[in-house]
Amino acid sequence: MKTQIIKISDLSRDAAKLRQAARIIEDGGLVALPTETVYGIAANALDPDAVAGIFRVKGRPQDNPLIVHAAELEDVFPLVQDFPDDAMWLAKKFWPGPLTIVLLKNDIVPDIVSAGLDTVAVRMPSHPVTRAIIRESGLPLAAPSANISGRPSPTTAAHCIEDLNGKVDMIIDGGECSVGLESTVVSLAVSPPRLLRPGAVTLEDLRFILGDVAADAAVTSKLPNGSTAASPGMKYRHYSPKAKITLVHGNFADFARYIAKKPAATALVFDGEDKRLKVPCVTYGGANKPEEQAQQLFAALRRLDEIGAERVYARAPEITGLGLAVYNRLIRAAAFDEMFI
Ligand code: TXA
Ligand code: MG
């Protein structure tokens, strides 16, 4: 398949390109597009054959459901059985933006989208390009992250090209994603509400609006073999570069001493720390800047592969606020290998 690669920088000047992208979606094709979190591979969520294409291209296990994206609140209502008050509060505060809400689904959502569950995950993205394509097509979009399953999620069009060139109809370059990690996923289909995946809308933010919110065990720890995941995506090895990574908790001085004894290692560290180490380094934002860490982490994981890193020791982030989301992705990239020094 020949993939069209186009750049959209101005919605009115690029109106013809938006129309073309919407046409591909209407015709059952696949478009990789930018959102504020990460790039997604989008298809018409109401067309099971189109959605099957997403699973095929990503090599995604069939039991891992997709998020459905809408541009307006009234376009979410037909997808769900009920939009409870808690959902309305969250939507008022955080939509459009990096929050996905799991609710009981309506029959118009095909089983392949929800992987046979009785719930559907819905989100209203804020990225203007994706909002324009949803409006132009008049369709809800099923869109997982635009990586091959198991790879770090793409935060630039170049990452999408690495993973998807020749496999989708179109890749739209809309610049670097501003958040850099996938949306927060919260389920309102259980009581109390449950955080299934941490993101830029933090656990603290959710508790401020909803009161009691449980954090699923899978947010910070490895699920025991054989257990059922509330969010199926959480059970897969994820975000993995080829290198073996160990996440190291502790201060920089101890980290520097530790890594000095491992000359063949590569260090994944915070900005500026690279200049104080003798091993090859990749950086992922400032030490006390979780927004920067979130925005840069996935590109840093891809960079480790580019420089041929085989054994990586990574500085651990703070685990509160947005740091919980950074930690959640890094610990999966490290296949849960962490140490305290
Ligand atoms: O930021 C994002 O959410 C990006 C952009 C493209 O919107 N999308 C994304 O999709 O990260 P994906 O498919 O890579 O991750 C969706 C996550 C998975 O962990 C999946 O298991 C979970 O959401 N999920 C989807 N539907 C669900 C449901 N009905 N119940 C529980 N978890 C669900
Ligand atoms: Mg994903």
Ligand 1 centroid from CA 262, angstroms:
37
Span from the CA of 67 to the centroid of ligand 1 (angstroms): 5
Q: How far apart are CA 107 and CA 120, in angstroms?
A: 10
Q: How far apart are CA 24 and CA 204, in angstroms?
A: 40
* Rounded CA separation 264/279 (Å): 7
Task: Supply the residue whose CA is at minimum distance from atom 29 of ligand 1.
Answer: 120
In eight-state DSSP terms, residue 175 is -
Write phi, then psi, for 279 (nearest 5 degrees). Answer: -85, 160
Pocket test for ligand 1, best of 103, 145, 322 (most atoms within 8 A of CB): 145
The rounded Å distance from CA 159 to ligand 2 centre is 14
CA–CA separation, 164 and 30 (whole Å)? 11
Is any atom of ligand 1 closer than 6 Å to the C-beta of 121?
yes
Position 231 scores a pLDDT of 73
What does the block give as tokens for 156? 């630039």
Mark 198-227 as b/e (b = at least 16 C-beta within 10 Å): bbbbbbebbeebbeebbebebbeeeeeeee
Q: What pLDDT is attached to residue 113? A: 98
Atom of ligand 1 nearest to the CA of 145: 14
Task: Write the residue with the smallest CA distance to atom 19 of ligand 1.
Answer: 233
Nearest to 182 by CA among 121, 137, 132, 267: 121
Instruction: Report the DSSP beta bridge partners of residue 312.
Output: 245, 266
Q: Given this model, what pLDDT does residue 224 score?
A: 67
Ligand 1 near 48 CB (within 6 A): no
Q: Identify which ligand lies nearest to the alpha carbon of 43.
A: 1
pTM over 0.95: yes
Ligand 1, atom 15: closest residue by C-alpha: 144
Mutate to test the pocket of ligand 1, among 67, 122, 223 (most ligand atoms within 8 A of CB): 67
pLDDT in the model for residue 237: 61
Residues with CB under 5 A from ligand 2 (ion): 145
Q: How far is the CA of 145 from the centre of ligand 2 (A)?
A: 4
- What gap in Å lies between CA 198 and CA 75, rounded to an integer? 25
pLDDT of amino acid 230 = 76
Does ligand 1 lie within 6 Å of residue 215's CB atom? no
Q: What is the pLDDT along the chain (341 residues), one digit of tens a residue?
A: 999 999 999 999 999 999 999 999 999 999 999 999 999 999 999 999 999 999 999 999 999 999 999 999 999 999 999 999 999 999 999 999 999 999 999 999 999 999 999 999 999 999 999 999 999 999 999 999 999 998 999 999 999 999 999 999 999 999 999 999 999 999 999 999 999 999 999 999 999 999 999 999 989 887 766 666 777 766 666 677 789 999 999 999 999 999 999 989 999 999 999 999 999 999 999 999 999 999 999 999 999 999 999 999 999 999 999 999 999 999 999 999 999 99
Provide the β-strand partners of residue 170. 4, 31
Structure tokens at 200: 């830029």
Q: Give the nearest ligand 1 atom to 197 CA.
A: 19
37 ligand 1 Cβ < 6 A = yes
Query: What is the reported pLDDT for 125?
Result: 98
Preceding omega of 192 cis (within 30 degrees of 0): yes
The pLDDT of residue 57 is 97
* pLDDT of 239: 72
| Pocket-testing residue among 109, 185, 332, ligand 1, by greatest number of atoms within 8 A of Cβ | 185
Tell the residue nearest (CA) to atom 3 of ligand 1. 183
Angle, helix 128-137 to helix 15-26, in steps of 10 degrees? 60
Among 302, 293, 299, 286, residue whose Cα is nearest residue 328: 293
Which numbered ligand comes closest to the C-alpha of 41?
1
10 Å CB burial of residue 264 (0-12, 13-18, 19+) is exposed
Q: How far apart are CA 131 and CA 70, in angstroms?
A: 8
